[in-house]
């Protein structure tokens, strides 16, 4: 020991926390403090001195903690370091510069370094504190998991909540313990922070092949003791159930900043002790390092930047001017034997960034390079399954590429055009479709992308190969027609822009200037929808009325016997008692069949056309309005009761659902729109099955888009997370208006998203990052819609000309159609169809 400084002249630095970063601080200080100016007191809460937490999984099998011990962690022979293990810093008094420990000791300091790290986040799931529930953080945690696993026996199920880096490590630990691991990840893919959708798909397949059961896109709703008293019963948000011996929570970490909060230090809005670039906190005598430090507001969860913060703090204590230089968040991992690496701007958030992807499902590899908009500079990348190129690629981040981007990950075929690819070349890796199969389908008559998708499945998954499908069509001599129909050579998107830019407000004007003929049942309703989307004119005003299909013409859905259904709007499922009473009275007075819909409102069936105005007059008088069940427009915004009533609710889902439904009501679009808002991860409103789904989190809202039902159901995918109310609505405004402007005729949001070149990443860039510079324009268009909305049925009731349409017989407007009959003999009222045998006895005679 160098004792150049007299003991009385020494200063004391207290280090609160003895993890990897705390130990690095002590090591660096003792190596550089050659004069012995600082006496160090280390308070380590765990009973063991610092160990390699990154290598925690290697403890499984050896169960030898000594193998994880960091070199020199006991500071043997150094009397300037006072290491106290099993002692926690409980309180700080900045005024007197004293720390009170868990043992009751009070330690004075000249400088205090907070190295308290982070703690595992445990979702507030009912039952999370049961005896067989663990976190994956310390050696003691692993000892508890081991004991429970051994008691359960080989093959017992273990559930890991969280599919990130630590979650997969925990799953591997369970696997090594002889258990059958299930991984539950709330996001749509594993390791969402490190990999994108394509890399996540390959990773999921690889780990599934290794024996893991993976559940993505679902949360954990409840944990209960098993009925036999042995083990647990875990209910997921999709209502599936897993019986398991134990649960390990690995759903992320939070900065362990309570000690600092209690002392009045400044903390970030998302946690962490705010520091400057020199790691100094809001108190000039206190520093923070590692995961607890929010360097100018940002926390870093990797050990490498943590070590850097420790070095900077040491430099400052010794009189230097060191600053935190930023963090390289690049990682290369081997999880369950699977290589995973991400580096630089892996998710392409840089403005104008482009992505080059090689997705080889057959080999189980995925590679993506993110490059600048001129494709010359490497910004980042993702490698899954084979990370051998990581060492060469990571140093190139920010540099000019030595070759074409694709050549760096796929030298064999990246620089070849479609015409030079052999027939066996895999075009669609998701569905293993070769060039030969696609070209064969084209020669057999598949003359556009949808036809190729239908007969080969190419392009129906991630959509990344759609541009190549178009190139193969062009190479095969197929002229890619974008015509809406025989009367317009333009696509729907082009017609939308013509209408929006020219101010054309009638079909006759549009077809006269840009089309030919009289129109048909394809272009007329399409143009009617475009006209409705670009103004607040009533759809039955003037010439527009003749363009509508039957449902829009009568503002009601026609049923199989020629009657109509009536669906009043109930925003978010809310309805008053008086409105319910009036609905019941209407049903009785007009003899209507009543059914509660899946979208949380009431459908009244069996109304004749001349009855519609009378029914709607009563509904409007009761304060209700059109539910637009007949239109290609917003239908419903389904909700659960949320935090207002539910004990699990995290946000006011009903309030948000009402706000959204009232904002987007009457919004005409290429196809119908359905939304939902769930108040927590239990997902009772089934938001991920909707075109726009909103799910509450403890920090705000997660926004999902592109969920549809029908013949090919699709789950909505996460567009953005933890949004405040204002940002959520802004993103939905942009998303819906972008869809309305660019989708094809009768194209729902799910296939529209699949067809976008660039897929979800491109959509995120447009909606969240405004990569096209049109965000303000999209938001303004939605503001105009909201300002111009008027209930369609209320407008009809105020206009005699529109009311005159609602008759069965023009020359006898008061007469009912005698051909409309019903069968009331059963428990339900049903329509009777003339000439249809077996519907009801004697129906033809009636």
Please report, in range form, the residues annotated as the binding site for siroheme. 684
Question: Interior CA angle at 212 toward 209 and 217, to 5°?
Answer: 105
Q: Which residues contact 550 (CB under 8 A, 6 or more apart)?
A: 558
How far apart CA 508 and CA 578 sit, in angstroms, is 45
End-to-end alpha carbon distance in the chain: 110
Residues paired with 626 in a beta bridge? 568
The pair of structure tokens assigned to 608 is 């004749």
Instruction: Give the C-alpha distances (Å, rounded to integers) separating 522 from 484, 560, 754.
Output: 8, 22, 23
R_g (Cα) of the chain, nearest Å: 32
Q: Are strands 111-114 and 286-288 parallel, antiparallel or unpaired?
A: parallel
How far apart CA 540 and CA 558 sit, in angstroms, is 17
Q: What is the DSSP letter of 636?
A: E
Q: What is the DSSP letter of 743?
A: P
Sign for the pseudo-dihedral over CA of 827, 828, 832, 833: negative
Exposed / middle / buried, residue 74 (Cβ in 10 Å: 0-12, 13-18, 19+): middle
* 683: alpha, beta or left? (left if phi > 0; alpha if psi -120 to 50): left
SS3 state at 188: coil
- Give residue for tokens 């083990």: 231
Cβ atoms of residues 234 and 247 within 8 Å: yes
Cβ atoms of residues 136 and 173 within 8 Å: yes
Cβ atoms of residues 195 and 340 within 8 Å: yes
Per-residue b/e over 705-744, b at no fewer than 16 CB within 10 Å?
bbbbeeeeebbbbbbbbebeeeebbbbbbbbbbbbbbbbb
**CA proximity to 327, closest of 313, 347, 307:** 307
Q: Angle, nearest 10°, between helix axes 449-456 and 435-443?
A: 120
The pair of structure tokens assigned to 513 is 């200037």
Residues paired with 360 in a beta bridge? 365
Strands (E), 190-272: 213-216, 220-225, 232-236, 241-244, 246-249, 253-255
Q: Contacts by 483-489 with C-beta closer than 8 Å and gap 24+?
A: 484/522, 484/523, 484/526, 484/745, 485/520, 485/522, 485/523, 486/517, 486/520, 487/511, 487/515, 487/516, 487/517, 487/518, 487/519, 487/520, 487/523, 488/514, 488/515, 488/523, 489/515
Residue ranges at the known binding site for [4Fe-4S] cluster = 640, 646, 680, 684
Strands (E), 574-649: 593-596, 602-607, 634-639
Residue 737 Cα to chain centre, angstroms: 19
Please report which residue ranges of 372-465 form alpha helices under DSSP H: 390-393, 405-409, 435-443, 449-456
Cβ atoms of residues 635 and 673 within 8 Å: yes
Please report which residue ranges of 177-302 form alpha helices under DSSP H: 197-209, 258-262
**CA proximity to 669, closest of 618, 727, 736:** 736
Residue ranges at the known binding site = 640, 646, 680, 684
SS3 state at 719: strand
How far apart CA 382 and CA 248 sit, in angstroms, is 27
């Amino acid at each position: 020991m160098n004792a150049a400084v007299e003991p009385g002249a020494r200063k004391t630095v207290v280090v609160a926390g003895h993890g990897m970063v705390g130990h690095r601080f002590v090591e660096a200080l003792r190596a550089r403090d050659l004069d012995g100016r600082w006496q160090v007191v280390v308070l380590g809460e765990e009973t063991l001195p610092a160990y390699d937490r990154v290598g925690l999984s290697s403890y499984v099998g050896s169960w030898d903690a000594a193998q994880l011990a960091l070199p020199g962690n006991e500071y043997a022979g150094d009397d300037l370091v006072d290491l106290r293990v099993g002692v926690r810093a409980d309180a700080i008094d900045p005024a007197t510069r004293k720390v009170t420990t868990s043992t009751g000791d009070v330690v004075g300091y000249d400088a205090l370094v907070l190295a308290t790290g982070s703690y595992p986040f445990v979702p507030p799931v009912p039952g999370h504190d049961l005896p067989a529930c663990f976190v994956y953080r310390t050696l003691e945690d692993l000892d508890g998991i081991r004991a429970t696993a051994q008691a359960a026996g080989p093959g017992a199920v273990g559930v890991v909540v969280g599919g990130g880096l630590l979650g997969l490590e925990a799953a591997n630990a369970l696997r090594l313990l002889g258990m059958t691991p299930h991984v539950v990840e709330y996001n749509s893919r594993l390791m969402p922070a490190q990999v994108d959708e394509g890399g996540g798909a390959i990773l999921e397949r690889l780990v599934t092949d290794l024996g893991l059961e993976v559940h993505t896109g679902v949360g954990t709703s409840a944990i209960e003791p098993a009925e036999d008293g042995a083990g647990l019963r875990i209910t997921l948000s999709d209502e599936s159930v897993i019986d398991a011996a134990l649960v390990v929570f690995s759903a992320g970490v939070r900065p362990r900043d309570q000690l600092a909060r209690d002392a009045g230090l400044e903390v970030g809005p998302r946690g962490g002790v705010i520091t400057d670039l020199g790691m100094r906190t809001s108190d000039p005598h206190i520093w923070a390092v590692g995961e607890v430090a929010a360097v100018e507001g940002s926390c870093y969860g990797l050990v490498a930047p943590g070590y850097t913060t420790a070095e900077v703090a040491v430099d400052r204590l010794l009189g230097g001017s060191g600053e935190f230089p930023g963090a390289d968040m690049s990682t290369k991992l081997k999880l369950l034997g699977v290589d995973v690496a991400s580096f630089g701007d892996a998710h392409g958030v840089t403005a104008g960034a482009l992505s080059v992807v090689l997705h080889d499902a057959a080999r189980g590899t995925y590679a993506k390079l993110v490059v600048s908009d001129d494709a010359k500079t490497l910004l980042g990348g993702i490698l899954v399954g084979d990370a051998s190129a990581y060492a060469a690629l990571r140093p190139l981040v920010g540099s000019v590429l030595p070759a074409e981007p694709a050549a760096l990950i796929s030298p064999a075929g990246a620089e070849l055009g479609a015409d030079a690819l052999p027939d066996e070349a895999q075009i669609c890796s998701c569905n293993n479709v070769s060039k030969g199969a696609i070209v064969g389908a084209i020669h057999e008559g598949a003359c556009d992308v949808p036809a190729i998708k239908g007969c080969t499945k190419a392009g129906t998954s991630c959509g990344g190969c759609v541009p190549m499908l178009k190139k193969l069509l062009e190479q095969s001599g197929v002229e890619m027609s974008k015509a809406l129909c025989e009367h317009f050579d333009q696509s729907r998107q082009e017609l939308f822009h013509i209408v929006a830019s020219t101010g054309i407000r009638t079909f006759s004007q549009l077809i006269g200037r840009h089309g030919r003929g009289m129109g048909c049942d394809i272009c007329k309703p399409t143009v009617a929808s475009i006209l409705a989307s670009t103004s607040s004119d009533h759809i039955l005003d003037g010439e527009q009325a003749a363009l509508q299909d039957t449902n829009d013409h009568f503002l009601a859905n026609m049923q199989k016997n020629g009657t109509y259904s009536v669906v009043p709007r109930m925003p978010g499922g809310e309805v008053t008692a008086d409105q319910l009473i009036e609905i019941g009275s209407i049903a009785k007075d007009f003899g209507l069949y009543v059914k509660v819909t899946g979208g949380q409102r009431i459908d009244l069936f069996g109304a004749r056309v001349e009855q519609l105005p009378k029914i709607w007059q009563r509904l409007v008088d009761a304060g209700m309005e059109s539910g637009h069940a007949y239109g290609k427009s917003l239908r419903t915004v389904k909700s659960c009761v949320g935090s207002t009533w539910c004990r699990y609710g995290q946000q006011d889902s009903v309030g948000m659902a009402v706000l959204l439904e009232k904002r987007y009501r009457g919004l005409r679009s290429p196809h119908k729109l359905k939304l939902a808002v769930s108040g927590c991860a239990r997902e009772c409103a089934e938001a991920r099955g909707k075109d726009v789904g909103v799910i509450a989190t403890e920090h705000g809202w997660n926004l999902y888009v592109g969920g549809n039902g029908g013949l090919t159901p699709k789950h909505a995918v996460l567009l953005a997370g933890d949004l405040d109310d204002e940002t959520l609505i802004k993103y939905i405004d942009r998303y819906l208006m972008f869809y309305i402007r660019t989708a094809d005729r009768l194209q729902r949001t799910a296939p529209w998203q699949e067809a976008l070149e660039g897929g979800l990443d491109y959509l995120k860039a447009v909606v969240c990052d405004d990569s096209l510079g049109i965000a303000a324009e999209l938001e303004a268009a939605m503001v105009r819609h909201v300002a111009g909305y008027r209930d369609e049925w209320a407008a009809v009731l105020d206009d005699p000309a529109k009311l005159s349409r609602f008759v069965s017989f023009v020359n006898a407007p008061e007469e009912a159609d005698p051909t409309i009959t019903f069968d009331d003999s059963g428990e339900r009222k049903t329509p009777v169809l003339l000439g249809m045998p077996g519907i009801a006895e004697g129906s033809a005679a009636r």
